[in-house]
Amino acid sequence: MPAIKEAAEAFLAHQRIAVTGVSRTPGSHGSNAVYQRLRERGYQAFPINPNAESIEGETAYPSLAAVPGGVEAVVIGTRPERALDTMKEAAELGIKDVWMHRGPGGGSVDDAAAAWGREHGIRVIDGGCPCMFGPTADGGHKFMCAMLKLSGNVPRNV
């Protein structure tokens, strides 16, 4: 199993990243923060929300398959019970990197979805946040990463 840092670097080496669960009301949604940070750092980020036509002035897509030109990686930021469907869609589209977002709470991690993804050749990061690593990181997220490794919400290996 690769270390979380190595897996995060590989994930963040992609430029076209979909973020599921991005909301029209961004205040309390971690997905929105991830989506915004990716865009700020030069990534082509795509908000996935089947209930919105646009988010933050950008086109929103109802599914991964709807993104023109496809994506290379996915951040799952929805409720955990939706993670398996997203994982299956990613596999159907040949997407090999999926990050299941989790901060201090339960987040979007679903153990069955993570296991299914791994069984189908997907590198799954099951916890933590892309904003904790590499070019998307900031001091606050780095500190949170260190603390959440202690609780297991950021895995040491994936």
18: CATH: 3.40.50.720
Return the pLDDT at 104.
81
Tokens 């908000």 -> residue: 47
Q: Give domain status of residue 158, yes or no.
A: no
Q: Give domain status of residue 43, yes or no.
A: yes
Count of domains for the chain = 1
H-type alpha helices, 25-104? 30-40, 83-92
Q: Give domain status of residue 131, yes or no.
A: yes
Return the pLDDT at 152.
87
Neighbours of 95 (CB within 10 A): 23
Q: Give domain status of residue 125, yes or no.
A: yes
Q: Give domain status of residue 62, yes or no.
A: yes
Cβ–Cβ < 8 Å for 120, 112: no
Return the pLDDT at 106.
79
Split at pLDDT 50, 70, 90, the class of 28 is low
Encoded tokens for 83: 């993670």
Q: Is a pLDDT exceeding 80 seen at residue 27?
A: no
Mean residue pLDDT of the chain comes to 94
* 113-155 pLDDT, tens digit each: 999 999 999 999 999 999 999 999 999 999 989 989 988 889 9
* 68-114 pLDDT, tens digit each: 999 999 999 999 999 999 999 999 999 999 999 998 877 999 999 99
Return the pLDDT at 22.
94
Q: Give domain status of residue 157, yes or no.
A: no
| Measured distance CA(60)–CA(50) in Å, rounded | 8
Return the pLDDT at 24.
86
CA 52 from centroid of its chain's CA atoms? 19
Q: Give domain status of residue 44, yes or no.
A: yes
Return the pLDDT at 29.
65
What type of residue sits at position 122? I
CA 111 from centroid of its chain's CA atoms? 15
Q: Give domain status of residue 156, yes or no.
A: no
Q: Is 157 exposed, middle or buried (0-12, 13-18, 19+ CB in 10 A)?
A: exposed
**Full domain range(s) for residue 83:** 4-151
Return the pLDDT at 71.
98
